[in-house]
């Protein structure tokens, strides 16, 4: 029986169809013969496909002046194309709404490289989580709190395509999430998310969260 991958507000697309679309993207991007924006038009009818990657949560870490997010790499394949030496990039753009009636403002971009699992790597290791961060103005955060408004952070994950500066940008592969969570450390976020930082905790078979 063919599996289906649910796409928010888009119904369902067959897994084979999405895998083919992603493979075409990888093959053409690495060949360099077709501009990425032209390739992406062929799959633009899809949006927020989270079969391969998903941003799970975001938080504000004012003590260190950071915005942080946890990204799940959910599959062992679908990142490198035919030649495994190639890899692709996961981009996370951060926005923040300070509560000053200006709406979400772009703060910056983080990224990390991903590739297909090695032939001898167990599929049970997946999903693997990555922690990404970006510096921000913590003083302004405290000022907003003093004025009675708790800022909202938005993290937009997009595979192999840099997210636009528009806060309403909808990724093809990836998703976006809003949060007002404040943490005192990265470890606290991982603790609340029940995710070990490195190695396996005793009796816990989940993979560690990698620092991107």
Summarize pLDDT for 80-121 with one digit per residue, the tens.
Answer: 765 556 788 999 999 999 999 899 999 999 999 998 887 777
Residue 9 in tokens: 């507000």
Domain-wise residue ranges, the chain: 51-211
Contact 171, 92 (CB under 8 A): no
Percent of the chain predicted with pLDDT > 90: 46
CA dihedral sign of residues 113, 119, 120, 125: positive
Cα(117)–Cα(109) distance, integer angstroms:
25
Summarize pLDDT for 145-167 with one digit per residue, the tens.
Answer: 999 999 999 999 999 889 999 99
Cα(187)–Cα(200) distance, integer angstroms:
15
pTM: 0.81
How sure is the predictor about 78, in pLDDT bands with cuts at 50, 70 and 90?
confident
């Amino acid at each position: 029986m063919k599996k289906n991958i649910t796409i928010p507000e888009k119904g369902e697309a067959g897994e084979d169809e999405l895998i083919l679309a992603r493979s075409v993207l990888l093959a053409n991007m690495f060949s360099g013969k077709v501009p990425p924006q032209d390739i992406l038009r062929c799959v633009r009818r899809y949006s927020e496909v989270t079969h391969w990657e998903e941003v799970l949560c975001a938080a504000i870490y004012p003590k260190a002046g950071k915005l942080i997010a946890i990204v799940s790499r959910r599959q062992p394949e679908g990142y490198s194309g035919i030649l495994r030496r190639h890899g692709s990039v996961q981009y996370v753009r951060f926005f923040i709404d300070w509560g000053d009636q200006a709406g979400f403002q772009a703060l910056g971009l983080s990224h990390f490289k991903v590739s297909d699992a090695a032939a001898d790597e167990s599929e049970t290791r997946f999903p693997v989580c990555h922690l990404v961060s970006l510096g921000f103005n913590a003083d302004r955060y405290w000022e907003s709190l003093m004025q009675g408004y708790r800022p909202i952070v938005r993290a937009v994950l997009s595979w192999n395509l840099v997210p636009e500066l528009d806060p309403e940008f909808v990724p093809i592969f990836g998703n976006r999430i809003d949060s007002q969570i404040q943490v005192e450390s990265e470890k606290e976020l991982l603790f609340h998310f029940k995710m070990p930082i490195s190695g396996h905790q005793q009796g816990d078979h989940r993979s560690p969260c990698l620092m991107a």
